[in-house]
Structure 1
Amino acid sequence: MPRRENISMSVIRRLPRYYRFLTHLKQKGVTRISSTELSVKLGLTASQIRQDLNCFGGFGQQGYGYIVDQLCDEIGNILGLSNEYKAILIGAGNLGRAIASHMSFDDEGFRLVGIFDSSPSKTGTRINGQIVRDTVELEDFCQKEQPTMAVLCIPRDGVHTVIERLYNLGVRNYWNFSHYDIAMKYDDTVVENVHLNDSLMTLCYRISNPSQK
């Protein structure tokens, strides 16, 4: 099997899409599918799908295709979805509240163990059964719970101080909605930046240029 560090991020970023689609097939009762059928559904080439899966050893049989539930489980294992990494969320505003309420962290490899905000109007309230804690409690909470990841839903100008505190507490992994470049300051962190504005502008471009798919 190839060494995991040699696998490109473009391949890794396609795995959740495969996993999501295969989960849907399982729910519909589909037991087997070929790379050609997958390619039609996903808008990729069959060759691309086979190459991606072969990075992890390959899971299909020529002339038979892939067993849907087995491939789904294998991709879930590759992604580490059963790890239940402890996560905290910083910022209980509209975005943070929506993420804490509607994201299925437990299905995506994480367990949300704490929500924090600095606003007195938000601390003490509940989101999805969890009490929003004051950010002054971060140190004590992190020392006790040892979270692996933090979700950042705070304005960019408020991130610097929070990141410094989290980093000093050993948090090195971030799902970052703040538009602050964490990796520029801390190059040993793992960061997934989410730029909703970029996605919306890309959609605007595609609408404005319908000839480009």
Structure 2
Amino acid sequence: MERKKNISMAVIKRLPKYHRYLRELLKNDVDRISSKELGEKIGFTASQIRQDLNCFGDFGQQGYGYNVKELLNEISGILGLSKEYKMIIVGAGNIGQAIANYTNFEKLAFNLAGIFDINPKLIGLKIRDVEVIDIDGLVAFLKETPIDIGVICVSKNNAQTVADMMVTNGVKGIWNFAPVDLEVPEEIIVENVHLSESLLTLSCLMNDRTYP
């Protein structure tokens, strides 16, 4: 399957939702589903689903719909889930610990290889059998262990320094929870999760509904 060029970020951001719902359908022994039925479950129109999937190839058959297992496998491949990823977390506070404890990542082949922090009270703590290591050991760890994804859960004042350490030592993707925009080389992929921005988006939408 060949992915078409210039696919919008909006389409890409909808793919994980397709993946989640298709996994649930498969768990519930649903073998096939129409674009209309899938749209009703997800909250998209049938036309939107067909347009999104057409960005990546020809799926489904008229009069039959989509084979759930086959479509799930195709979307898993598009999302890069046909391979395993090693990741580390820098920042073992509340957010870092919550991410480390989220078992679904392992099911999706995202394997936590290390956790790092500067706080002496957290160093040595084990989170699901992964010990928190002193941040001073980060560079040595990255030199010995190839890491695909670095998760940044530190303050905005320290985030850029951590990102630089990751990039310099081979990390290709950064999942950034720090409330700051990172400066990285063009080839490095950054996905920002700014919690306050998400909350403000919610409040804006609520305000637009003219709640009292």
Query: Which TM class, normalised by the smaller chain length?
Result: over 0.9
Letter in 1 for 2:189: V
Query: Where does structure 1 differ by over 4 angstroms across 4 or more consecutive aligned residues?
Result: 1-4
1:93 is displaced (CA, Å) by 0.4
> What is residue 204 of structure 2 aligned with on the other side?
205
What do the CA deviations read for 1:15-74 (whole angstroms, capped 9, x no partner)? 100010111111112111100111222222211111111111122000110011111111
- Mapped partners of 1:211, 1:66: distance in 2: 40
Q: Is the 8 A contact 2:167 2:184 kept in 1?
A: no
Q: CA contact under 8 A between 2:150 and 2:174: conserved in structure 1?
A: yes
Q: Hey, what does 2:169 align to over in structure 1?
A: 169
Q: Read off the aligned partner of 1:206 and give its amino acid letter.
A: L
> What are the ranges of 5 or more consecutive residues in structure 1 without an aligned counterpart?
none
For residue 36 of structure 1, give the secondary structure of its aligned residue in structure 2.
Answer: helix
Higher mean C-alpha displacement, 137-146 vs 103-112: 103-112
> C-alpha deviations, 1:119-138, integer Å up to 9, x for none?
11111110111100111111
Deviation at 1:6, TM superposition (A): 2.5
Q: Which runs of 5+ in 2 are unaligned?
A: none
Report Cα offsets for 1:70-100 as digits up to 9, x if no partner.
Answer: 1111111111113111111000001100110
Alpha-carbon separation, structure 1, partners of 2:167 and 2:96? 20
Contact 1:80 1:109 in 2 (8 A): no
- Point out the structure with the larger helix share: 1
What is the TM-score normalised by the length of structure 2? Answer: 0.92
Distance of 1:79 and 1:185 partners within structure 2: 22
Alignment partner, residue 83 of structure 1: 83
Structure-2 residue corresponding to 1:49: 49
In structure 1, distance between residues paired with 2:46 and 2:177:
34
Residues matched between the structures, number = 211
The equivalent of 1:132 in structure 2 is 132
- Match runs of 1:31-46 below 5 Å: 31-46=31-46
Question: What is the distance in 2 between the residues matched to 1:153 and 1:161?
Answer: 12
Counterparts of residues 1-213 of structure 1 (less than 5 Å): 3-182=3-182, 184-210=183-209
